[in-house]
Structure 1
Amino acid sequence: MIPAHSRRKDKYTPRSVPEEKLATSAMIASLDAEGREAISAPFGHALVDMAKTREDIVGLSADLSKYTDLHVFAEAHPDRFYQMGMAEALLMSAAAGLAREGFVPFATTYAVFAARRAYDFIAMAIAEENLPVKICCALPGLTTGYGPSHQATEDLAIMRGMPNLTVIDPCDAVEIDQATRVIADTPGPVYMRLLRGKVPNVLGEYGYRFELGKAKVIRDGTDVLFISSGFMTMRALDAAVALAADGVSCAVLHSPTIKPLDAETIVAEAQKGGRLVVTAENHSITGGLGEAVAGALMRAGAHVPFRQIALPDEFLDAGALPTLHDQYGLSVSSITARVKNWLEG
């Protein structure tokens, strides 16, 4: 069990927890770079850079600035940073008020707290009024080993259902940096998932550029089409390399914008060459990218072989992330094994 007082660490450290353990806590851990170059705090540094020329950029956090990388912005621009304490409803309401006064607020917390605790305040104070509040949330899906209290496995399903809200699930440090800059200029509210700390650079080698509402082919292939978002695009790319060694050619279509979904590109790619279509997401199998893609294919009359790689519709265990990713099918080895089985079946 996690002590109730240990969920926030900006100002309070329980005496019973050694400092050395805090430094490696699963709650605040970033996704491992897995042999790739890692970039430190891309979200925070992007905000700092934008704020040099934009006085309307402000940052707010619910006592979690250090663990959403907003502390980088707070240190550079303390006069534009607002620490709202352990009060997500107040966080969202204050962000709405700032937006009404002409600011572009970036409000940060953990994804579970935004999606589960602050939903009604986001709906009534922000989304209904179509205000330009950017809600950027760490620990999406299975990126922490601290169990159901911190694992936001259903946040995309929750946020997809809210009118006026754009929903983004970026892959890596490159895309977080680019997407942060794009959403600052995007009218209306945005919910964006965050990887924090030292974040892998995955898409840099492909010359990738984030475009809101656009899915892009990162790798082409003839046997399987992965449609993925978030860090599962990294896993899909790695699985494609592993499967190529066994003679299986895989394409990867990265779809970072979950809402509005790029249905046109998804349907066009899914209908090419009779490939097995496999969605891959760091989210529950219910209500996320997979079901969004399935709906788009059905509405377009695209009848293709279709499978989902996603988290189960259940509360997940606590533990070490590599173990949990193996257990719940998000690891490269799990993905390759399942794809082989589907192709052989």
Structure 2
Amino acid sequence: MGPKLVMGSPRNAFGRALVEAGERREDLVVLTADVADATRTKWFAERFPNRFINVGISEQAMIGMSAGLSAVGFLPLASAFAMFLMRAWEQVRNMVCRAHVNVKIVGTHAGFADAGDGSSHQALEDVALMRTLPCMTVVVPADPIEVAKATHAIIDYPTPVYMRIGRDYGPPVYDDPDYDFVIGKAVWLRDGDDYAIIGNGPLLWDALQAAKMLKREGISVAVINMHTVKPLDTALLDKVINKFKGIITIEEHGVRGGLGSAIAEYVVQNPPEIPVPIKIMGAKSYGRSARDVRDLIKAQGLDSTSIVNTIKRLESRVRK
């Protein structure tokens, strides 16, 4: 089963929001690494040609130039495919984070979004790499509505930010384009009593479907959008780990180093009075070439049916 309705696409929402941000921020400069069409930064280039730079296929140079622009008073936003932005991790560390210059980095085609090009183009490690950097804020919006909201939010945020978005797969999680998006503030998408699914990105659509399926079987599941991986909404986490019988995390990222790891680290260091089991759901290996994103989601066991089965197995152990 897949989503019946896809409202726009993440990259289109990003491109439109970037133009809107350019209208109100004259200091905003956008850079890309020869992928203006694919990232939709071309729309910013068409509207503000004097504030757009295509550095060519050189992500490292793009980050270095961004750091320099920030140092002289501009607000640079660098965007390219998430996987190939990781080539520039050293430059992000040394030129952006160590200097603490205000650069925004947006990785598109993240997770399984670039299904047709195979594992070389599928970023499943980027959140892990970026959240290790002390100064970096990490944001993973859920759907096109939230991508647009998050784009404006990261541009106005006072620290360096890494945001990852998909390509064209963007099943609707929100139906209210006016909801309040706040970096570092998680969102309750659905309340429940037994288990909590905490996730981000497009897999939240599957989490919501799974919660509906489990309700019919008498299992009450809350769904929480932890769109900011760093800093985590620890106030919400404190409530969750003391309320539910178990926590399931889900993300379009590897099981090591992403949102699930971040939550597990926090729980270990701030244990609840009654221990709470945590199941981390994410990619266990590299992706592969596929006809569409749904094929990869199912192959990695991250679709709604897989979430239902995971919670049922957890329920059977908890009852014992």
TM-score by length of 2: 0.92
Partner residue of 2:254?
A: 284
The alignment status of 1:301 with 2:271, answered yes or no, reads yes
| Offset of residue 37 of structure 1 | 4.7
Q: Is the 8 A contact 2:170 2:202 kept in 1?
A: no
- The aligned amino acid for 2:140 is D
Separation in 2, partners of 1:95, 1:147: 29
Q: Secondary structure at the match of 1:239?
A: helix
Q: Is the 8 A contact 1:74 1:81 kept in 2?
A: yes
Partner residue of 1:126?
A: 96
- The aligned amino acid for 1:124 is N
Q: Is the 8 A contact 1:231 1:282 kept in 2?
A: yes
Deviations, residues 118-177 of structure 1 (Å, cap 9, x unaligned): 011111111111111110011212222222211111111111111211111111111111
Q: Is the 8 A contact 2:2 2:294 kept in 1?
A: no
The alignment status of 1:109 with 2:80, answered yes or no, reads yes
Deviates more, 1:126-135 or 1:261-270: 261-270
Gaps of 5+ in 1: 1-31
- The aligned amino acid for 1:85 is G
- The aligned amino acid for 1:326 is K
The alignment status of 1:47 with 2:18, answered yes or no, reads yes
Q: Secondary structure at the match of 2:149?
A: helix
2:307 is aligned, of 326, 329, 335, to: 335
1:261 is aligned, of 193, 211, 232, to: 232
| Offset of residue 207 of structure 1 | 6.0
Deviations, residues 176-234 of structure 1 (Å, cap 9, x unaligned): 11111111111121100012347443223496321111112111011210011111222
The alignment status of 1:36 with 2:5, answered yes or no, reads yes
Q: Is the 8 A contact 1:221 1:249 kept in 2?
A: yes
Distance 1:69 1:199, change over 3 A: farther
Q: Secondary structure at the match of 1:192?
A: strand
Partner residue of 2:283?
A: 311
- The aligned amino acid for 2:255 is I
Q: Is the 8 A contact 1:224 1:249 kept in 2?
A: yes
1:227-242 correspondence to structure 2 within 5 Å: 227-242=198-213
Partner residue of 1:140?
A: 110
Q: Secondary structure at the match of 1:271?
A: helix
Q: Is the 8 A contact 1:68 1:194 kept in 2?
A: no
The alignment status of 1:177 with 2:148, answered yes or no, reads yes
Gaps of 5+ in 2: none
| Offset of residue 113 of structure 1 | 1.1
Separation in 1, partners of 2:73, 2:2: 38
Deviations, residues 254-274 of structure 1 (Å, cap 9, x unaligned): 1011111112211212211x4
The alignment status of 1:244 with 2:215, answered yes or no, reads yes
- The aligned amino acid for 2:96 is I
Deviations, residues 92-117 of structure 1 (Å, cap 9, x unaligned): 111111111211111101111112x1
Deviations, residues 48-72 of structure 1 (Å, cap 9, x unaligned): 1121122111111001111112112
Q: Secondary structure at the match of 2:24?
A: coil
Richer in helix (by share):
2
| Offset of residue 275 of structure 1 | 2.5
Separation in 1, partners of 2:51, 2:172: 29
Separation in 1, partners of 2:165, 2:187: 20
Structure 1 segments, 4+ long, off by >6 Å, are none
The alignment status of 1:187 with 2:187, answered yes or no, reads no
- The aligned amino acid for 1:158 is L
Q: Is the 8 A contact 1:225 1:251 kept in 2?
A: yes
Partner residue of 1:325?
A: 297
Separation in 2, partners of 1:92, 1:158: 16
Q: Secondary structure at the match of 2:261?
A: helix
TM-score by length of 1: 0.85
Distance 1:201 1:322, change over 3 A: closer
